[in-house]
A and B are shown apart, each in its own frame.
Chain A
Amino acid sequence: MMNVLRLIGLFGVLVFILGPLVQSFLLSLIVTFPHEGFVKGDWTLLNYRNVFRDPELLASLGNSLIYVSLNVVLTLLVALPAAYAVSRYRFVGDKHLLLLLLAFRITPPVVLSLPIFLLFAKLNLLNTPVGIAVVHCLFNVPVAIWILSSFINAVPRAFDETAFLDGHSRMGFFVKLLIPAIVPGIGVSCFFCFIFSWVEVVFARILTSTGGKPVTMAIQNLFGFQTDIGLVMAMTVISLLPGLALIYFVRNHISKGFQLRG
């Protein structure tokens, strides 16, 4: 009896989560817009072919991949040492630092969008993936510090001390011992940086008004007086693929590493 209920529940979850995407997927496989030689309503791969024939859409995929990778690298570079400090030391101002991290993570992008635009115009970071990569650190660095520090907490302190006794320098210890020990944590951080960065719209819109558009904005641009909804959905489906690949890689670790310190 219990198992039947569980199966029904799990099936319900499956339908609720995947159901809405089914329609989008189906639309992406249908001719929804007058194209020469095609009948509206027919099954087709035309929309996908059109995505790959549109230089702007292709460029946007490139832009998004570039800014997300840059963002992940930048975030990890600054978050790893900070996470180590948060996990291993009590220091003057640590509580304020954690409060600041919390506050920045939850500050809505709309609040900062105008000054960010002006500042990045001065720094010459408009219309390039680099600008988006930098600005997304605002919410990704705090998340990465939380996740990484909870993984470092799980490494016993004796691990560090033994390494220093063995004559490892701090840098050597970091690169050769600590990072390999928390690889799952790095994977999970990458995943969360990715999901908050890849899908973000407010900063991405304000920083790329004339060029360097990421996927989200390229999709937005497809809407107009007449919209080829099939093409929109095809692009959306393609935009899910990198995220899905990442989920697959971290699936066994995704559920670890969320203990916060106040």
Chain B
Amino acid sequence: MEIKVFVTILLSTIFINNYVLSRMLGLCPFLGVSRKLDSAIGMGLAVIFVMSLTSFITYPIYKHVLVPNGIPYLVTIVFILVIAALVQLVEMVIKKISPALYHALGIFLPLITTNCAVLGVAVLNITSGFAEPGASMGLLKSVVQGFGGGIGFTLALIIMAGIRERLEIADIPENLRGVPITFITAGLLALAFFGFSGMKI
């Protein structure tokens, strides 16, 4: 176990296999919440937190509950219910502890349940290995992957929000307004991120 492994996981989840621009996960919030920069930052923080926590909880459930009992095929049902419950719990805890934080993140939390990046990272944690391909990862590596995935999502979201704030005042052909121009911008961003795929770590 070296520090290099974690750096590799972080770099590859943030840049090389960016969850939004390369794996194409979590596009609904990417389109929905990227209109304003401050709401993009709020959503990004909420996603980073939930993705790390989801990785921290779903991996042990798979490894120590589902596999020993011979029911790994229930993974989809269990994970989605765990994520839904987790998001509810986080919402209640934040509301109780820090009303200011709740005010900033509150409206984004219910949206996260159906964010496919969250279920995606939970499934990827148990199916893909970084050190040895095909093998599942340890708990710490899973959490790092969840955290890095969240950062990558936030990075894409913030860049997009910055661009879209300027697009608002641009003169765009009528039928291209809204989602189509956002997808063209996302394509250009993906093209830029595509350049990272040649990076050797």
A and B together in one complex: no
**Residues of chain A whose beta carbon lies under 8 Å from any beta carbon of chain B:** none
**Residues of chain B whose beta carbon lies under 8 Å from any beta carbon of chain A:** none
